[in-house]
Amino acid sequence: MSIVRNNWTFDEIAAIYHKPLLDLIYEAATVHREHKNYAEVQISSLVNIKSGGCPEDCAYCPQAARYHTEIDVHALLKQEEVLATAKQAKEAGVSRMCLGAAWREVRDNRDFDRVLDMVRGINDIGMEVCCTLGMLTYEQAQRLAEAGLYAYNHNIDTSSEHYGEIITTRTIDDRLKTLDHVRKANLTICSGGIVGLGEKDSDRINMLLLLANLPKHPESVPINALVPVQGTPLENQPRVPFHDMVRMIATTRLVLPKSVVRLSAGRREMSMAEQALCFMAGANSIFAGDKLLTTDNPSFEEDMNMFELLGLTARKPFKDVITHNHSEHAQL
Ligand code: SAM
Ligand code: DTB
Ligand code: SF4
């Protein structure tokens, strides 16, 4: 039986990461199959509730105001629009709506009040709600929790050693501070990163080391492949080879054995066979819907065909919740 540990060393994770690929996949699949519902995949859908115009300089991001990209820029959507999208997604079998805003941080203003209304509205129709709104104070995390938020997505994105190459307008400690506020407010944490930013293997290992040694593991860990977008500093970055994605997913499964591992951005470029290996190696969540935030994702129909072919099923909402106020979660 795999146990959840918070005292990993760099060398231990490096030894896992560098195993021969098929050995690594086999071991990760073995740990994954300890879960009763290993064929169940949690499906989230993204809505970009506020698009573009962000003051931050994240080198990968098409929504940073300083880069000239061809995205659709819009102010905060109306609550009715977001609720209508959520209802459609629910009918299609999506269990969680993830509301993304191109903000550096949340401000206590009418926009935040509107986001809180969106959270209440989506919760009321029986879906889990996740937000990714940038940095938060503890009080803001509490207000989100009171509105019924289920999860907060806040990625550390890369290692602390590589962070300054990618983002200069904040530090990785700022990110960790927000994660601490989210944890203290009893929300579940969704935090992972991106591969393909020009990082070394040691950066990927250090990123996982940071996540794995948090006082409590994030309940969900998104692994994104960089989607290089024209106009961003990383526009010419080569696509991540699929074997790097599988290696990263399998290592994540082994060091964070009870967390949900999300095969996130980059699925558009992966074949069904490549994605199948990722599910085999422990991925048990995806973003579904034609769009991620600004870039394309496989269509819902394609994904449902893939589920059918691979024998995967969509997980129902709120399966993890034991107590009504979300204060305790049985992971998987
Ligand atoms: N502004 C908020 C923040 O930074 O936390 C929320 C939205 S931000 C777009 C959420 C995450 O999307 C980032 O942390 C990053 O992991 C991911 N992301 C953004 N652009 C990406 C890209 N081109 N390829 C892959 N992942 C990307
Ligand atoms: C995450 O880890 N990946 C999602 C979600 N959390 C917010 C975002 C991916 C964005 C990909 C680029 C885009 O579509 O703009
Ligand atoms: Fe802004 Fe988030 Fe994009 Fe960074 S990743 S530029 S904080 S929207």
Confidence of residue 324 (pLDDT cuts 50, 70, 90): very low
∠ CA 244-228-106 to the nearest 5 degrees? 100
Please say if the pLDDT value at position 330 is more than 80.
no
- Closest ligand relative to 168 C-alpha: 3
Contacts of 99 (CB under 8 A, 6+ apart): 47, 49, 82, 115, 118, 119, 129, 130, 131, 132, 133
Q: Where are the domains of the chain?
A: 10-314
Token pair of 232 as six digits: 């961003």
Average pLDDT, whole number, for the chain? 95
pTM over 0.85: yes
**pLDDT tens digits, one per residue of 229-281:** 999 999 999 999 999 999 999 999 999 999 999 999 999 999 999 999 999 99
- Closest ligand relative to 167 C-alpha: 3
Instruction: For ligand 3, atom 6, name the residue with the nearest CA.
Output: 64
| 290: β partners | none
Q: Write the CA distances from 299 to 8, 197, 268, 285, integer angstroms.
A: 38, 26, 9, 16
Report CA torsion sign: 254, 255, 261, 262: negative
**Ligand 3 pocket: which of 54, 132, 158, 227 to mutate (most atoms within 8 A of CB):** 54
Residue 36 confidence (pLDDT): 85
Q: Write the CA distances from 23 to 9, 15, 247, 257, integer angstroms.
A: 21, 12, 10, 17
Active site residue 58: yes
What whole-number distance in Å separates Cα of residue 151 and Cα of residue 192?
13
- Residues 306 and 263: beta-carbon distance below 8 Å: no
Residue 1 confidence (pLDDT): 78
Average pLDDT over residues 194-198: 98
Please say if the pLDDT value at position 73 is more than 70.
yes
195 CB less than 6 Å from ligand 1?
Answer: no
CB atoms within 10 A of CB 68: 9
3-state secondary structure of 131: strand
Token pair 């293997």 is at which residue? Answer: 201
229 CB less than 6 Å from ligand 3?
Answer: no
Q: Is 111 exposed, middle or buried (0-12, 13-18, 19+ CB in 10 A)?
A: middle
Please say if the pLDDT value at position 332 is more than 70.
no
User: Which CATH topology does 10-314 take?
Assistant: TIM Barrel (3.20.20)
Confidence of residue 317 (pLDDT cuts 50, 70, 90): confident
